[in-house]
Amino acid sequence: MVVLLVIMLAIGVSISVAVGLSSALAMLCMLDANISFATSAQRLFAGANSFSLIAIPFFILAGNIMNNGGIAERIVNVAKVVAGRMPGALAQSNVVANMLFGAISGSGAAAAAAMGGTIGPMEKKEGYDPVYSAGVNIASAPTGMLIPPSNLMIVYSTIAGSVSVAALFMGGYVPGILWGLLVMFLAGVKAKKCGYVAERRIPAKDAMKIILDAIPSLLLIVIIIGGIMCGVFTATEASAVAVAYAFVLSLIYKKVNLKGMIKIVVDSAKMTGIITFMIGLSSIMSWVMAFTGLPDLIANGMLSITENRYVILILMNIILLIVGTFMDPTPAVLIFTPIFLPICQTFGMHPVQFGIMVTLNLCIGTITPPVGSILFTGAKVGNVKIEQVFKELLPYFGVILIVLLLTTYIPAISMTLPTAAGLIQQGERRYGKIIMPVAFESFDGLSER
């Protein structure tokens, strides 16, 4: 299975097809053809047949509506007010805008495209180096995948089994905000060195008008997260509320007409189809791994090297960082969650902390060649070469890796907010709880505590 997967990826076969085909062919080596084909079809359907996954198409649609409905523009204006007179104020505004837009849309690539396309021309007009501008945009865009809502966390919740989406959402706030603040710090240091002075101070009267104008857009964050925390609706229902609210706002702002709305819906459907197809086919691979006991073999292999939890976590981070450079986040979560989660749970790591750690690793992959979607999106929007902007990104990788290590080794960073919100019981906070991943329903080789 692994050999076929690598070969197919090397010759350019799409990830979803490569995962499904290699898994089905591996199954043929173990079972009769009739059983193999029937099981593959059943797993494909079962993998995509999840209530939680309904949230993904709605959040994708909501993000596309916001990107085209005038909401992004208002978020940029608020970000400029927040950034004030910091060195490189426009670049700082870009970081704040990416964090806010990510907190609404849940998409790093959408944030890089929307914010880079809006703030980039302003920065060019002010004399900013395009490579610097693109670097700041790309380095901060993945915060949208950590600050809720996050489609990647929804996928992880489905695969991990019995892990609260709301707890994952709350757990992503501190790492996401910490990532953004450290990028702002580095961007400010370089801006001061390059002499990028701040814009003129926005008068208090104008700042108040900008904030009031953006309140309806920013309220979407309060409605989604507040509704989930207060138990008004689930994360899946919140995604539908987000679509309805964003659609009404876009009509009020008169930025989207019927023709434009049809295009937004079609684009969202295409993206949803790709993700759902990938999730279904990855379920076949999860079944094959469970049937063969592969995760148990990998766990024993890692534990034979060392039983030190800190070393094991470092090894996992290294593997996930490498995988993230050539694989999209969704299939990586689908493949590696069933392998690594049981290992982490054996030494007490909570599934929520592990989910945030995995998400953070794969967020870094989105800004790393050769597959980094946000890297290519940001470079294209900023009209710069990949090799130029990647060199610009190197200092940012340093501070982002610091956030990763802190999240990995300090549970409080990802666990304090979910615990304070009552989404995690006090007993779970320290010791974790062994939860059988859905991919291992028929596998008895995991130790339980």
Which segments within 183-305 are labelled E, that is strand? none
The structure tokens listed for 254 are 């008169």
pLDDT for 310-357, tens place per residue?
A: 899 999 999 899 888 877 788 788 888 888 988 888 888 899 999 999
CA distances from 124 to 196, 322, 335 (A): 11, 34, 42
Domain ranges of the chain: 1-49+277-292, 50-256+293-421
pLDDT value, residue 438: 37
pLDDT for 360-408, tens place per residue?
A: 999 998 898 766 778 888 888 888 888 888 889 999 999 999 999 999 9
pTM for this prediction: 0.79
Block means of pLDDT (10 residues each) for the chain, length 449 residues? 83 81 87 86 81 79 78 77 76 85 70 79 84 92 86 86 85 93 92 75 77 84 80 82 87 80 88 80 79 77 82 91 82 84 86 94 87 81 86 93 95 92 61 37 33
Separation of alpha carbons 165 and 187, rounded Å: 32
The string over 109-147, giving b where at least 16 C-beta atoms fall within 10 Å of a residue's C-beta and e elsewhere, is bbbbbbbbbbbbebbeebebbebbbbbbbbbbbbbbbbb
DSSP state for residue 424 in the 8-state scheme: S
Number of separate helices (H) and strands (E) present in the chain: 23, 0
